[in-house]
Amino acid sequence: MGNTDFITMYDQVMPELPKCPAALIDKQMLNVWIKFCHETQAWTYDLTAINIMDGVQEYRLDGLQPSYSQIDSLVTVVLQDVTIEPGTGYTMANREMAIWLINEPGADVTAGLEIQVALRPSRTATYIDTRLYEDWEEQIAKGVMAILMKMPGKAWSDQVMGNRYDREFRDTIAKARIQQTRGGMNKRIVARAPRAYRW
């Protein structure tokens, strides 16, 4: 997984934000990426499969995702090739990002627990996953400019354009949610009878 520095976006935002300090732009780039990732769950990552141990129900998730990210939420949990659901198959054990299996395992299973998570940048991040960046760079830039342009009394203030970019960014979040729901496929979803499956 490659990564791209946030400042790569400077060429998109700086021409429309005259005299805006780079540090302020950096701060809002991070905030907008965090908001985007949290609200869309567009940045997904398959954690290293976890070994199941007989009688053990709690398994920690920390230390497995990229260092510049943190886990935002669980997307899919697969136990021995069967997708399990929150509440009936597992719960989050505590604030330490540990998963608690509802049913106690009866045997050791190598790589028996597979988890896909949604990530967001950590508060100290200065870069983002390259594919995510390439997919959403222009829209994230609009989100950044929307926030900064709506600041009153600045050399870069522009309420009209700020409101326009804000609407476009919000539309992007809605579109990204739909795309994520479709599993990245550009087609309508067809509902089928439940069965054990894995994307």
User: What was the pLDDT predicted at 188?
Assistant: 44
Angle between helices 159-181 and 130-149 (to 10 degrees): 150
User: What was the pLDDT predicted at 35?
Assistant: 97
**Helix and strand tally (H, E) in the chain?**
4, 10
User: What was the pLDDT predicted at 173?
Assistant: 95
pTM: 0.85
- 27-to-67, 91, 148, 180 alpha-carbon distances in Å: 19, 34, 11, 26
- Mark the ranges of the chain whose per-residue pLDDT is less than 50: 185-199
| Spatial strand order in the sheet of 98-101 | 58-60, 98-101, 90-94
CA angle 168, 163, 37 (to 5 degrees): 45
86 DSSP assignment: B
pLDDT tens digits along 62-73: 667 888 999 999
Q: Which residues of 20-55 are buried (b: 16+ CB within 10 A; e: fewer)?
A: beeebbbebbbebbbbbbbebbbbbbebeebebeee
CA angle 41, 191, 49 (to 5 degrees): 45
User: What was the pLDDT predicted at 61?
Assistant: 86
Closest CA to 62 of 104, 23, 94, 36: 94
User: What was the pLDDT predicted at 92?
Assistant: 86
Burial of 8 (0-12, 13-18, 19+ CB in 10 A): middle
Please give the Cα distance from 57 to 74 (Å, whole number): 17
User: What was the pLDDT predicted at 132?
Assistant: 93
Angle between helices 22-40 and 130-149 (to 10 degrees): 120
Beta bridge pairs of residue 121: 69
Three-class SS state of 42: coil
User: What was the pLDDT predicted at 94?
Assistant: 64
Angle between helices 22-40 and 159-181 (to 10 degrees): 30
